[in-house]
A and B are shown apart, each in its own frame.
Chain A
């Protein structure tokens, strides 16, 4: 099994280190209350949790996209390869090799698929030939995009748009991709396909992932390590294989318990008595 083999070499070099950060929106709304996590080189790290747990905010804090949404990191530190990145521009991070694929795809609707991909290479300075080569690489991973390269991205399907967003990120030659809810609004079969590609990219291209996902089941199957967020705090973390077997995770996030599946009503009442913190 994949994760059993991978958990042993998680001790690899640490790329991203988030240390006890607090994020406040609009100067008043406290969203993250001390989140710490590390992303090792070559791993797929999953960030799990329900709506409003703070997954997206954590990713945006790392990629520095918070500023344009009136959010700011007020405490803690974010380091990439040992360097503090928390006050820098998103462009600086992209140049360092960290790029975010945002939740809900965010393609450039009126640009063609190929133009979308090319915008991903905006910060690159290694010449047109190298960019064209990577374009072929992206088309290799997403053959469907090649067929649709001349269509406006706004007219492609949800799955294709997710591929455009991921391909666009790949065009920046990233070391780490912050992938936010890739499964959102996609059919289960497509979700498998997308995660399969994530795994391929991880194994063949050596891209590390920090993956925020509500679909705990799928995420824990593909990830090596997982963090579970609840109300802006990390409440549990561990190798993906262990998390999958943890009875609480089973109960709260996989919808299973020792007595088998419970009805939604029971789960809710049970949840009120037993919470993470």
Chain B
């Protein structure tokens, strides 16, 4: 087998894995967009916030340590204990639910019935507010996150492929774990929204707020639920990205990569977010591999956006987006 083809296969595999991580972030966007028609700009920051909170709790950091110390002249930074990963994840989830409630109570509830653009602006404000809070709470230094996920080269794949092609593929264990978790997450979310009463109510709210109110569905409850689920997805994404590249503020920038993913997959489709993520992941890696050297590299920065632009022209609702139903 020609060497180039084998390299390309490895690139594709790695692209798929990277795509899963994009998809995880995109998923959070889709959830909130579906249920409330809000494009939640803060989704990326929520992932960052979740990851920072997780690290903070695990390390027994005192939240708002700098503020407390500056106000009271004390020097407390640590509680002096560490929390096991699983417990910390549960506690972080509780924080995310609290955040969902706060967002609903203090921001979204007052904006019911406003134009989508106003809601969108509100989420931009929320993003920067949350980033500030995260900074105040846990400090701005880069932290490592280790919840016990396997990392490093998968030796089995390396060996097997070496036996086949005389060339061992480098696949990170973490990427494999991320793929499995993302698959489970998507299956669970689809099952929830299709087959449960609350899931149905969530889709009903997405279609028509007024009608949902009229049959006795509480918008408040549904929105808190949706923001909590989105918070959970953000937590999973935060754990994956945080483990991979450290918990740092640039993490919130991955949210921007989720945008082309959404344009590709459609803003309203959960499977679309996954497929879109995979296409972008594979596409940008393959493009960089095949065309990159000819144009001087660094194509990964713009490839996704150009692809999304092309999609916007020919299929504005995305691959899996709901058809815009227009009866005349």
Contacts and interface: CB of A to CB of B under 8 A. Distances in A.
B179 to A, nearest CB: 29
Contacts of A93: 216
B201 A154 contact: no
A99 interface: yes
Contact of B204 (A94, A101, A108): A108
Contact of A118 (B113, B200, B213, B322): B200
Interface residues on B, range: 20 to 34
Contacts of B201: 119, 122
Given A119-B200, A155-B325, A111 B207 contact: yes
B200 A106 contact: no
A248 to B, nearest CB: 34
B209 A108 contact: no
Interface in A106-126: 106-111, 115-116, 118-120, 122-123
A42 interface: no
A152 B213 CA distance: 20
B216 A108 contact: no
B218 interface: yes
Interface stretch (A28-36, A61-69, A250-258): A61-69
Contacts of A154: 325, 327
B157 interface: no
Interface string B219-230: 100000000000
A165 B113 CA distance: 22
B210 A108 contact: no
B66 interface: no
A94 B216 CA distance: 6
B200 A68 contact: no
Interface residues of A, number: 35
B210 A106 contact: yes
B214 interface: yes
A272 interface: no
B177 interface: no
Interface of A: 63, 65, 68-70, 89-91, 93-95, 99-102, 106-111, 115-116, 118-120, 122-123, 152, 154-155, 165, 168-169, 172
16 contacts: A65-B213, A69-B210, A91-B216, A94-B216, A99-B214, A100-B214, A110-B322, A111-B200, A115-B204, A119-B212, A119-B215, A122-B201, A122-B215, A122-B216, A123-B216, A152-B325
Given A108-B211, A115-B200, A172-B216, 19 more contacts: A63-B214, A65-B214, A68-B213, A70-B113, A99-B215, A99-B216, A102-B210, A107-B208, A107-B211, A108-B203, A108-B204, A108-B212, A109-B208, A109-B325, A111-B204, A118-B200, A119-B212, A122-B216, A155-B327
